[in-house]
Structure 1
Amino acid sequence: MTQLQPTVTPKLEQPKFGFNDYAERLNGRAAMIGFLLMVIIEYVTGKGVLSWLGLQ
């Protein structure tokens, strides 16, 4: 008796957690938004982010 193998590969959804393309893309976008906000804060207040936060 021979077993038949499936002929169609199932379309699996990419995981949303861990080291994968989705997570890396999301992390990169969050970093870009954070950097842009930091630059805007420095421009508007005239002080660096550390000074603005009271850490310097």
Structure 2
Amino acid sequence: MENQENKFGFSRFAEVWNGRLAMLGFVIAAITEYFTGQGILSQIGLM
């Protein structure tokens, strides 16, 4: 049988996906900043 590890809370599965989504968000933010010439805070009106 498969290992029935929890998919919520502090588990390896959750932490791996959290890291992957954080990397994806960082790349999207960097690409957006490159194409617009503005930082993320400027884009959302905080600066």
Cα 1:11–1:48, aligned 2, differ >3 Å: closer, same or farther?
Answer: closer
Higher relative contact order (CA 8 A, sep 6+): 2
* % identical aligned pairs: 49
The higher radius of gyration belongs to 1
The separation in 2 between residues aligned to 1:35 and 1:54, in whole angstroms, is 19
Which AA in structure 2 matches 1:47? Answer: Q
| Cα RMSD for the two superposed structures | 1.3
1:49 paired residue number: 40
- Name whichever structure is richer in helix by fraction: 2
The alignment covers a number of residue pairs equal to 47
TM-score, length-normalised on structure 1? 0.76
| Structure 2 stretches lacking a partner, 5+ long | none
Question: Structure 1 segments of 4 or more deviating over 2 A?
Answer: none
Partner residue of 1:37 out of 18, 25, 28 = 28
